[in-house]
Amino acid sequence: MSGPILVVMAAGMGGRYGALKQMDRIGRGGEVLLHYSVYDAARSGFEKAVFVIRHAIEKDFYEVVLKRLPPSIKYSVVYQELDTNIPPEIYAASQALGRTQPWGTTHAILCAADQLDAPFLAINADDFYGLNAFKAMSQFLTSPQGAEEGAIVTYVLAKTLSATGAVTRAVCKINDGLLKGVEELHAIEKKGTIIFNTDSEGKKKQLMPDTPVSMNFWGFPPSALPHFQKFFSEYLLQLVKTRRHECYIPLVVDWLIRQGAITVRSLKTVSEWFGITWQADRQDAIMRILDLNRAGVYPSPLWE
């Protein structure tokens, strides 16, 4: 079996950040966060990377991201546009409504589907996941289980919050090492020592600091893709009525689990997440990378 594939979802628009997070230079050598993911994936046994981007950022993405990759990194680029693999009538209706918001991370994976002939890992471009997470996922995806089951690396809620503003997190229910359900919660924030989310009706719910959450570090076999397509095609009938709602991976996974269509294992890892949700998070990310450089975890620059 060929090695696992890394799918980097980099077509986001960075609304809260105020810029394109996936191309913000964080490392001293001009590296962006996704460079560290590619570096860790390569030394964990991933065979190639597939970058999902928009045509509008193609030139900059090449200059900032792809041009820095060494020849040893195999990659391909696919595009996620509002009309990519979308039925013409659905696209026309969305345009009549004035939709500019992307269709979401599920759509991103489906845009890369024809490149995914082996078990794959889907990640965000603007998050840092840690070497141990990639090693754990690579080991799973190259095992017999990885050819049939899905997997996730979760992170502790309290360590994924932003001091600047509210965040969205997919809260995971895990039992005996298996993912039993996922719930996407918006407007999660911390006041004093209390973490809570506020729903669309203004109701607040307290969340425990050690709650496991998804930061989009998902492993799947290629056999999951038809299930993704089925759910997305049906969900589009709802999405087309809105201008901003998207189809997130946790929605599909939760549905697949409830349908008994897939088993998703929760992998143990010592890796810690950090990212740049808000512009004020940037300096912390820079310092975290600098600390890792000083500790010898990553060279600077990553590639000579």
What residues does each domain of the chain span? 5-149+216-258+272-294
- Reported as a single tens digit per residue, the pLDDT across 194-224 is 999 999 889 999 999 999 999 999 999 999 9
pLDDT for position 102: 87
pLDDT band for 124, please (50, 70, 90 cuts): very high
> pLDDT band at residue 278, thresholds of 50, 70 and 90?
confident
Instruction: Return the structure tokens found at 53.
Output: 């981007």
Which of 8-12, 13-17, 121-125, 277-281 is predicted with the least confidence, judged by mean pLDDT?
Answer: 13-17
pLDDT at 23 over 70: yes
CB 32 within 8 A of CB 127: no
Query: Can you read off the two tokens belonging to residue 271?
Result: 């890796």
Exposed, middle or buried by CB within 10 Å (0-12, 13-18, 19+), for 295? Answer: exposed
The mean pLDDT of 176-194, rounded to a whole number, is 95
pLDDT(65) > 70: yes
pLDDT, position 163:
81
Provide mean pLDDT across the span 254-274: 95
Cα torsion 95, 96, 101, 106: sign: negative
Could you tell me what percent of the chain has a pLDDT over 90? 86
pLDDT at site 18: 45
pLDDT digits (tens, 9 = 90+) for 74-85: 999 999 999 999
Q: Comparing 165 with 216, which gets the higher pLDDT?
A: 216
pLDDT per position as a tens digit, 230-256: 999 999 999 999 988 999 999 999 999
> Looking at the predicted structure, is the pLDDT value of residue 1 above 50?
no
* 41, 6 contact by CB (below 8 A): yes
Q: How far apart are CA 21 and CA 24, in angstroms?
A: 5
pLDDT, position 224? 97
166 Cβ contact list (under 8 Å, min separation 6): 186, 187, 188, 189, 198
Question: Do 169 and 273 meet the contact criterion of CB atoms below 8 Å apart?
Answer: no
Q: What number does CATH give the domain 5-149+216-258+272-294? A: 3.90.550.10
CA–CA distance, 276 with 72 (Å, rounded to integer): 28
Residue 16: band (very low, low, confident or very high) from pLDDT cuts 50, 70, 90: low
Average pLDDT in the chain: 93
Residue 163 CA to residue 117 CA, distance in Å, equals 40
